[in-house]
Amino acid sequence: MKKKHQINFRTLIKPDKYPFIIDYNTPMMFAGSCFTESIGLELQKFKFNIDINPFGILYNPISIKKGLLFLCYSQQFAFDNLFYNNERWNSYYHHSRFSSPDKKNTLNNINKRILSSSEHLKKTKFLFITFGTAIVYENIKTSEIVSNCHKLPAKNFNKRMLTADEIIIEYIKLINCLEEITKDIKIIFTISPVRHISDGLTNNMYSKSILMTAIMQITEHFENAFYFPAYEIMIDDLRDYRFYTQDMLHPNKTAIDYIFDFFIKSFIGTKTYEIMDKIEQIIRAKNHRPFNKKAESFQIFLKKNISKINNLSIKYPNISFIDEKKYFEKLILY
């Protein structure tokens, strides 16, 4: 029988090689859509020095840029920047996670985060920006693009699609500002694979194409700006609804893990990966649930992991294992 050629049922995307690597001495900031939190929280789990979404989840490029500029200038908010709706004080520049019934508390939380994230941005070497959509909402009274409508009536806003040129102009300003306050910063752009279909599939594709056009031109303009193909990995490599959550719009855990592994292969060096492997062993040990907490075997297991943590703390003093050590110590029966 004649030998058949192997048939590929996937569009396999291979990780790009970037002219830099990330390690545990690389301060990072992640800003943008919910997808950026998915990758950022994975890195945070492995104890990288990372600040994730200082203004909360933001979807459009202009709002992300505004938030980062606020950090560049350490700009503090005032009570006049807040408004009351649905029994909570809100900011047009922030996700609803910053909203609360107490006006003073809302403002304090916003300004406290701006101060800490502004200091972190000055040290940041790796800025990961995820664009979600090119569709924006302009406050009719001020003509400003808002980050969040906070369930205010639709009549308060003008809805429109950004142009690629608008995004490019604003990000040239932003990157020039970032280069003034940071040294050797690398900016990685990506497009969220989450599909925004409330305005229809055609508008979703139109929106994503605008984002792609803008990013490609920005990365051509700046030597320190790069692109990570999260969107392509999801849409082409993982082209199957089994990789989505039940809403059929968001990547599920399997997809996030796959893209995160792609991220690791693209940006993380061998030595750093070895440290991550040791940390993962501690994480798995912490998640272990014994049948009998008083069993001698489990007590030995706890002491072994405390010993591992002590050794790792000595070898890698810039990585904190305080929470894990407290957890194991709490379960030991003296």
Mean pLDDT per segment of 10 residues, for the chain of length 334 residues?
65 85 96 93 96 97 98 96 97 97 98 98 97 97 96 96 98 96 94 89 95 98 96 91 89 94 94 95 92 90 95 94 94 84
User: Is residue 22 assigned to a domain?
Assistant: no
Of 268, 303, 319, which residue is a domain's last?
268
Torsion angles phi and psi, residue 251, rounded to 5? -60, 140
Contact in structure between 87 and 41 (CB atoms under 8 Å): no
Of 234, 268, 302, which residue is a domain's last?
268
Q: Which domain holds residue 302?
A: 269-334
Rounded-to-integer distance, Cα 304 and Cα 312, Å: 12
User: Is residue 19 assigned to a domain?
Assistant: no
DSSP state of 251: B
User: Is residue 23 assigned to a domain?
Assistant: no
Judged by phi (left if over 0) then psi (alpha if -120 to 50, else beta), residue 110 lies in alpha
CATH of the domain at 160: 3.40.50.1110
Of 268, 288, 323, which residue is a domain's last?
268
Q: Residue 4's pLDDT is what?
A: 62
Check whether residue 132 and residue 254 sit in a common domain.
yes
Q: Tell me the C-alpha to C-alpha distance, in Å, between residue 306 and each of 256, 284, 330.
A: 30, 14, 11
Check whether residue 259 and residue 311 sit in a common domain.
no
Check whether residue 205 and residue 319 sit in a common domain.
no
Check whether residue 233 and residue 123 sit in a common domain.
yes
User: Is residue 229 assigned to a domain?
Assistant: yes
User: Is residue 179 assigned to a domain?
Assistant: yes
Instruction: Find the radius of gyration of the CA atoms of the chain.
Output: 22
* Token couple for 105: 């508390």
Q: Tell me the C-alpha to C-alpha distance, in Å, between residue 31 and each of 46, 55, 59, 201, 247.
A: 18, 8, 9, 25, 24
User: Is residue 42 assigned to a domain?
Assistant: yes
Which contiguous run of DSSP H or E holds residue 157? strand 157-161
Check whether residue 106 and residue 213 sit in a common domain.
yes
Check whether residue 114 and residue 193 sit in a common domain.
yes
Rounded-to-integer distance, Cα 71 and Cα 75, Å: 7
Q: Residue 3's pLDDT is what?
A: 59
DSSP state of 248: S
Q: Residue 307's pLDDT is what?
A: 96
Check whether residue 297 and residue 183 sit in a common domain.
no
Interhelix angle 164-181/201-221, nearest 10 degrees = 40
Check whether residue 53 and residue 132 sit in a common domain.
yes
Q: Residue 2's pLDDT is what?
A: 59
Q: Residue 183's pLDDT is what?
A: 83
Rounded-to-integer distance, Cα 224 and Cα 182, Å: 12
Check whether residue 257 and residue 278 sit in a common domain.
no
Contact in structure between 159 and 92 (CB atoms under 8 Å): no
SS3 call for 205: helix
User: Is residue 4 assigned to a domain?
Assistant: no
* Token couple for 241: 């609804």
Q: How many helices (H) and strands (E) does the chain have?
A: 10, 10
Check whether residue 158 and residue 279 sit in a common domain.
no
| Residues listed for the chain | 334
Question: Which residues have CB under 8 Å from 20's CB, separation 6+?
Answer: 186, 267
Q: Tell me the C-alpha to C-alpha distance, in Å, between residue 322 and each of 14, 26, 126, 229, 312.
A: 37, 20, 25, 35, 11
Check whether residue 91 and residue 133 sit in a common domain.
yes
User: Is residue 8 assigned to a domain?
Assistant: no
Check whether residue 254 and residue 206 sit in a common domain.
yes
How many domains, the chain? 2
